[in-house]
Amino acid sequence: MPTFLALLSAHLIADFPLQPNWMVRRKRNPAVLGLHIALVGAVAVLALGRLPPTLLLILVTTHAVMDAIKVYLLKDSLGSFVLDQLVHLAVIAALALAFPAAAAGGYWARLPGDLQADYFLGLCLVSGVIASLQVGAIVIRKATAPFTLQISDDIPGLEQGGIYIGCLERALVMMLVLMGQPAGVGFLLTAKSILRFGDVRESSQRKLTEYIIIGTFMSFGWGLLIAILTQLGMQHWLPARSD
């Protein structure tokens, strides 16, 4: 469990916050791709608290191969994104099974009990926030792309306003779930529905209404799923902290 969590957190940090849009756009450049792979390895070493050569070699090699396939051979689509992430997750799971003591031999495992538990609790929370906000934004944007093309370009709205709204609502969903107040998600969904649908009354705006509904349910569904998984992960480490 510690090795899997450390590698998962390292993957999410390297693949999302440390991979900004300019890097994604220029990833066909071997130097940019190499920089990304170097970050993947460096963050994995930091998360594990040690440098296991065999594990690290397998991790960065498979990551480089999959990213190269995605960049040079696959189209930019939801399918290619999901395939890419599933391959990375499968490799991480396999490495955690093959090297279960990788994290146990690292620096973080030598911390006092409470601090060690706090470290892994922090990894759970960081992973959950990245998965909910950044991964969720990409998944929802790619999943709704076919519908976006059907919406008129002259619909007024803030630039990237929908992305920020989605991130904020998923952050609130996670906060409510982790606080033990999941019922508050229903009130949040109701409030958003009133605000977003208040100006949509004409039948000619049916496409826009359906688009908003689809995006809203995708966002809340993804937010709830990740929040529950994050809560389960954190609950695993809470007993260790209280011992």
12 with 127: CB under 8 angstroms? yes
Same domain, 100 and 117: no
- pLDDT at position 219: 87
> Can you tell me the mean pLDDT for 182-196?
70
Q: Which residue has the higher pLDDT, 35 or 208?
A: 35
Same domain, 55 and 65: yes
Alpha carbon 151 to its chain's center:
27
Same domain, 212 and 125: yes
Rounded CA gap, 12 and 134, in Å? 9
> Can you tell me the mean pLDDT for 47-68?
92
- pLDDT at position 66: 95
Least confident among 23-27, 55-59, 137-141, 151-155: 151-155
- pLDDT at position 41: 94
Rounded CA gap, 178 and 124, in Å? 12
Rounded CA gap, 182 and 238, in Å? 20
Same domain, 101 and 126: no
Rounded CA gap, 243 and 154, in Å? 59
The tally of domains found in the chain comes to 2
Same domain, 137 and 226: yes
Average pLDDT of the chain is: 84
Rounded CA gap, 42 and 21, in Å? 20
Tokens found for residue 17:
């916050």
Same domain, 133 and 219: yes
Least confident among 19-33, 119-133, 190-204: 190-204
Alpha carbon 239 to its chain's center:
26
Strand, helix or coil for residue 152: coil
- Host domain of residue 86: 1-110
Least confident among 72-76, 138-142, 185-189: 185-189
- pLDDT at position 144: 84
> Can you tell me the mean pLDDT for 182-197?
70
Least confident among 88-102, 105-119, 190-204: 190-204
Q: Long-range contacts made by residues 138-143, C-beta under 8 angstroms, separation at least 24?
A: 138/81, 139/78, 139/81, 139/82, 139/218, 139/222, 140/166, 140/215, 140/218, 140/219, 140/222, 142/77, 142/78, 142/81, 143/78, 143/218
> Can you tell me the mean pLDDT for 47-76?
92
96 with 3: CB under 8 angstroms? yes
- Most confident residue range from 56-70, 206-220, 224-238: 56-70
Rounded CA gap, 211 and 205, in Å? 10
Same domain, 221 and 149: yes
Q: Which residue has the higher pLDDT, 72 or 107?
A: 72
Provide the terminal-to-terminal Cα distance of the chain, rounded to the nearest Å.
18
Nearest CA among 168, 136, 155, 135 for reference residue 211: 155
- pLDDT at position 227: 92
